[in-house]
Amino acid sequence: MILIASEHKKEIEPFLKKYPFKKEGNLFQYRNTAVFINHGKGALALGFNVNSILSKFEEIKIAVLFGFAGSLSNNLRIGDFTVVESVKLICDKKPLFNPIKLLSFDFPKVKNTDLVSILDGYEADSVFLSNFADVVDKESYFFAKAVKESNILGVIFRVISDNNNKESVLRVASLFSYDVDFLDNFVQTIGKIESDSLKFEIFKHTGISDLSVLSGLSNLINKKRLTFSQRQNMYRKIRINKSFNRERTKITTVFIEKGVKKDRISFDLSSKKVYEIDDYVGCFHNLKDKRAVVFANKKGEFLRKTPDNYTPDNTRGYSILNAYNCLYDCSYCFLKGYFKSFNPVVFLNYEDYFKAISDILKKDPRRPIYFYAGTFSDSLLFGKFSDFNVKLAQFFSKQDKDVYVEFRTKSDYIEDFLNIKPKDNIIIAFSLNPQEVIDRYEAFTPSLSRRLEAVKKLSMRGFRIGIRFDPVFLGYVNEYRDLMYSIKDIENIHSVEIGFLRFDKKNYFNMLHKEPNVLSRLVYENGMYRYKKQQRQKMVDMFKKYMHFYISMEL
């Protein structure tokens, strides 16, 4: 059974008129479809009523919220239909911490979008809201909360009725109409999926809504008598084979948390849209793309102990949490699964970091000890945003020689270091891969030749260089062998590290939704998804022929 909920009768009335729906209690019912109308009682009432209906009718498998919504995007036109992938709530320009993820799926002529709900009385600023979503309404967040709490598959299906300005909203009240046959086709398709338990299972796990494809997969499953675990593996493979379009983005918008020292920001703010915010957390978790950067003061955790087998020879290590996310778009980056947003956050309260590092050095007498900048971002690339790299290098130049700082990067932006005096405990560590791997998996990063040029410039100036082959990809043995020859003459190499593609269980399943194609050939082994051990060992044996290295995060 399908439940369709609408806030206003006008939104769903054209569909009700197509079929002989009968009123039964607070529902209109026809065959396997029930329609609930909230009669404009508001978002909270809608969420409460949907939750109540779902608890009463156990036969409901799919709940659909249908209605009008305003566009925040130039890519959406009046009359377009959208399926909402992520729904957010903003109150008085303060985004709540947790956006709600919903099933995204492919349906002909339907666009997948992010949506933001606003509360009654809030004057919606379309430009501000467009940083967080493509579509705006008042009900979706509370509907999404209701279906999540009821453990029911929820779908938010919106038709664009206006451009979220007063003139277009007034026009909607009397003139707007939509393609009701298209809505009917959508409901019928969802109904056919819901009525077949196996098709419904496939739909829920893969986002496939094409009935012919679902029939083919159902026949395959029945013919091969696949078990539940085998079906789950098949669904994962389907998601893994999906690909995503990539688009380079340019920073156009800046959010600055109150109390931040703006003179520490390196680029010109005059050409950007700038917003001052009370707290960065809600903003960070709700932004929808990479066109915005957030500057904030970090609170709480400034350093994080690195995992076992992360540092050279199992020495002690800490990651410096001075920035989150990256402007590059590497397919395998664990940050895609770690954070809810792709947007960069740069922290500017340097003194708190220096104090945290000094406290660790007093408490932990073991040496050598390593501190890593760039574990949760790209350290050199973020030199374009602030002067933290310079201050951090100056701080470590005053420390003992066995207290190391390592700047991890794929960038060739080395200007910050050209005016810094090299010290043996300052390491610039470059992540390298064959150009074929860069082209396939490391979108928008500098080429191998540009990285090697940066490596050589810093090496000639006396900096200690780290070479990081992490992750190593299978299938490129000859290309890695050629890369070995290209670095053999580099001087001042501090260390070489290799590591293989790996994800813990949580990040693996997050990547299934964000970048599934990179997960091909990974198996679950001792708590991590990675290449099979025998395959990894073959690559290790190849590297051993050319250089000395340490292995990161290996079993």
Q: Taking the model in full, what pTM does it have?
A: 0.86
CA distance 8 to 34: 15
User: Is 441 in contact with 331 (CB distance < 8 Å)?
Assistant: yes
In three-state secondary structure terms, 302 is coil
Q: What is the mean pLDDT of residues 3-23?
A: 95
Tokens linked to 281: 């957390």
User: Is 12 in contact with 71 (CB distance < 8 Å)?
Assistant: no
Q: Is 169 left (phi over 0), alpha (psi -120 to 50) or beta?
A: alpha
Alpha-carbon distances, residue 159 vs 77, 82, 177, 327, 367 (angstroms):
10, 6, 10, 32, 62
End-to-end CA distance of the chain: 49
Rg (CA), the chain: 27
User: Is 69 in contact with 8 (CB distance < 8 Å)?
Assistant: no
Q: What is the mean pLDDT of residues 33-37?
A: 97
Q: Could you give the domains of the chain?
A: 2-195 (3.40.50.1580), 299-551 (3.80.30.30)
User: Is 368 in contact with 403 (CB distance < 8 Å)?
Assistant: yes
CA distance 171 to 158: 18
Length of the chain equals: 555
pLDDT for position 518: 87
Q: What is the mean pLDDT of residues 516-529?
A: 89
Candidates 105, 96, 119, 129; CA nearest to 47 is: 119
DSSP conformational letter for 7: S
Q: Which residue has the higher pLDDT, 122 or 36?
A: 36
Kindly write down the DSSP assignment for every residue of 344-399, as one continuous string.
-EEE--HHHHHHHHHHHHHH---SSEEEEESSSS-TTGGGGTBSHHHHHHHHHTTS
CA distance 255 to 258: 10
CA distance 103 to 204: 7
Candidates 170, 168, 144, 148; CA nearest to 157 is: 144
Q: Residue-wise over 528-538: b if at least 16 C-beta within 10 A, else e?
A: bbbbeeeebee
Residue 453 pLDDT > 60: yes
Residue 382 pLDDT > 80: yes
* Percent of all residues in the chain with a pLDDT value above 70, rounded to a whole number: 95
Residue 262 pLDDT > 80: yes
pLDDT for position 316: 85
Q: What is the mean pLDDT of residues 474-501?
A: 92
pLDDT in tens, 209-247: 999 999 999 999 999 999 999 999 899 888 877 666 667
pLDDT for position 171: 56
Cα four-point dihedral sign 275, 279, 284, 288: negative
CA distance 507 to 501: 12
Read off the pLDDT band of 531 (50, 70, 90).
very high
pLDDT in tens, 130-156: 999 999 999 999 999 999 999 999 999
Q: What is the mean pLDDT of residues 441-460?
A: 95
Q: What is the mean pLDDT of residues 256-263?
A: 95
Cβ partners under 8 Å of residue 174, min gap 6: none
pLDDT for position 288: 84
In three-state secondary structure terms, 444 is coil
Long-range contacts of 275-280 (CB under 8 A, 24+ apart): 275/93, 275/128, 277/93, 277/94, 278/94, 279/94, 280/255, 280/345
Read off the pLDDT band of 120 (50, 70, 90).
confident
CA distance 47 to 121: 18
pLDDT for position 555: 59
pLDDT in tens, 288-340: 877 899 999 999 999 999 988 788 877 889 999 999 998 898 989 988 778 87
Helix spans in 151-263 (H): 166-175, 180-195, 197-206, 211-224, 228-240
pLDDT in tens, 139-198: 999 999 999 999 999 999 999 998 776 555 455 555 678 999 999 999 999 999 999 999
pLDDT for position 255: 95
CA distance 292 to 418: 28
User: Is 122 in contact with 92 (CB distance < 8 Å)?
Assistant: yes
Read off the pLDDT band of 510 (50, 70, 90).
confident
pLDDT for position 514: 79
pLDDT in tens, 411-440: 999 999 998 999 999 999 999 999 999 999
